[in-house]
Amino acid sequence: LSTIQLQLTPDKIPPALKLIHLKITIEGILFEKVFEADPGIKFTYAWNRLNVYRQRVYGVTTALVKIGYEYFDCKDIMWDVQTTKLSGHDMSISEVGGWNLDIHHRYNFHEGILQKGDGTNTYLKHKPRVVKTTLGDGHQRPLDCTECDGTAGTKQRLLAPVALAAAPDGSIYVGDFNLVRRIMVDGTVRTVVRLNVTRVAYRYHIALSPLDGSLYISDPESHQILRVKHTDNFSDPEHNWETAVGSGERCLPGDEAHCGDGALARDAKLAYPK
């Protein structure tokens, strides 16, 4: 249940006060109650997190609270109107017997709520939107960059960023023309792969495997998909990749061998891998 704590009257009330009217409207439901005029009236309204159609309400909703004061010597009721926020149901993160792991989270994009596995919520919708520079200082780096490693991303330069991929540990991979660079969790930048300039004359793409975290680079013009050997070893970026898929030949319509379907991935022919 979600509750609203109300203080309807102070400890001292005027003798002319006759009745207190309470109206709460939430998700189409109207709750009404009338109180005798007594000092220090407190009331707790409990909402079952359902709307007027008995459907579950997720995220955060707004309740309209009206408190009316009726006096003996006044024909009109004096109303005090306010609104408040109430939490509805959390979206289910796991279907494992009603329990969850603290590392499993879910994002309610309708309400901008990050539901964490430990039971806490982060209300991103009400936070200010801030844009921060992660990589680049506004100037272009040289093609042969000898000082592109080991410093903070905001002090590094970019040549032509064309691709992005986010790793589970919070680091970010950036395809920067002939360099595939990794922005570490601490903000430093390291070069993972240095590609031959002739391979990157056109746009390429990078992606991470959700199974083992391997980094893949698709080279559409060479009709191949490359796999990075070591994402944590930055000693030899020029040779830190291997061919995962594609022989280098283009797959053409009507290929007699069906472009290598059913054979080894390295022997397959690709048309334009992304």
98-152 confidence digits (pLDDT tens): 677 777 788 877 778 888 888 788 888 778 888 888 898 888 888 888 778 878 8
The full length of the chain comes to 274
41-50 confidence digits (pLDDT tens): 999 999 999 9
For the segment 91-100, the average pLDDT, to the nearest whole number, is: 67
Q: Is residue 108 part of a domain?
A: yes
Pair 96, 80 in one domain: no
What CATH number is associated with residue 228?
2.40.10.500
Pair 34, 116 in one domain: no
What CATH number is associated with residue 31?
2.60.40
Pair 180, 254 in one domain: yes
Lowest mean pLDDT among 52-56, 102-106, 247-251: 102-106
> Which residue, of 61, 87, 113, is where some domain finishes?
87
Pair 105, 74 in one domain: no
For the segment 209-224, the average pLDDT, to the nearest whole number, is: 89
Tell whether the model's pLDDT for residue 226 goes beyond 70. yes
Q: Is residue 260 part of a domain?
A: yes
Tell whether the model's pLDDT for residue 200 goes beyond 70. no
Q: What pTM was estimated for this model as a whole?
A: 0.62
Pair 223, 159 in one domain: yes
Q: Is residue 274 part of a domain?
A: no
Pair 125, 192 in one domain: no
CA 6, CA 16: separation in Å to the nearest integer?
Answer: 22
Torsion of CA 190, 196, 201, 203, to 10 degrees: -50
Pair 246, 196 in one domain: yes
Pair 56, 96 in one domain: no
Q: Is residue 136 part of a domain?
A: no
Q: Domain count of the chain?
A: 3
Tokens of 68: 């009316």
pLDDT value at residue 60: 84
Tell whether the model's pLDDT for residue 76 goes beyond 80. yes
Pair 126, 83 in one domain: no
Parent domain of 111: 92-130
CA 213, CA 193: separation in Å to the nearest integer?
Answer: 16
Tokens of 160: 């032509």
